Amino acid sequence: MIIKTERLILRPFLETDAADVYEYLKEPAVNCFACMKLNSLDEARKEMKKRLDETEYYFAIALKDGGKVIGEISAYLEAGEPHADEAPVRDTFSPCWMLNENYQGKGYAFEAAHAFFAYLFSQKGARRIYAYTEDYNLASQHLCEKLGMRREGVFLEFISFVTNPDGTPRYENTVQYAILKKEWDQKQLGQMR
């Protein structure tokens, strides 16, 4: 699957993307991506090989002009809360986004995420998209709000991605945002008027 926007191409990863991905994953910008850290270009090449089969929900964000990969966007598909149904429909997506810091603040993240949400809602049967972001990650919260997502709540000391210097877990406060398909459709209609 390839998604085109005004300035970007969202496409599956290629082995030749290793150097561009290494550029932004040698020092992951936020703790929640600490486990994605790449320690060498060789590790990046191996990581690209692992991503080759991911063609539906894991995209490189490449510039139309020149083709450089400036970040990535993906989504995890899951069932909604299964309590009322033994075979719940898998219609809920949780996205993840990351840009090379040299390309932030230029509207690329919104452009990519907006096209990605449109794809999930119109082609992949998404009913609800929700995102977790840490309480100090204002850029990601801003992106959620710009996409029309509602702030649903804050989970205090919800998760730990890294440890403190004394080896104890460093817990993060996590904000949850979400948008339903009907809210998305309403918002797009409003923008067309």
Ligand X SMILES: CC(C)(COP(=O)(O)OP(=O)(O)OC[C@H]1O[C@@H](n2cnc3c(N)ncnc32)[C@H](O)[C@@H]1OP(=O)(O)O)[C@@H](O)C(=O)NCCC(=O)NCCS
Q: Specify the DSSP class assigned to residue 125.
A: -
By CB under 6 A, residue 36 contacts ligand X: no
How many residues sit in the footprint of ligand X (CB under 6 A)?
Answer: 19
Residue choice 25, 70, 75, 143 for contact with ligand X (CB under 6 A): 143
Going by DSSP bridges, is the β-strand pair 169-180/150-163 parallel, antiparallel, or unpaired?
Answer: antiparallel
Nearer to ligand X, 104 or 188 (CB): 104
**Sign of the torsion formed by the C-alpha atoms of 36, 38, 41 and 45:** negative
Query: Which tokens go with 98?
Result: 């990351």
Beta bridge partners of 154: 175
Residue choice 36, 77, 118, 139 for contact with ligand X (CB under 6 A): 139
150 to 189: interface string for ligand X, x by CB under 6 A: ----------------------------------------
In which residue are the tokens 């993307």 written? 17
Query: Which tokens go with 160?
Result: 């730990």
How far is Cα 133 from Cα 7, in angstroms, rounded to an integer?
Answer: 26
Residues 71-110 that bind ligand X (CB under 6 A): 97-99, 104-110
Residue choice 57, 137, 172, 175 for contact with ligand X (CB under 6 A): 137
Return residues touching ligand X (CB under 6 A). Answer: 29-30, 32, 97-99, 104-110, 133, 137, 139-140, 143, 146
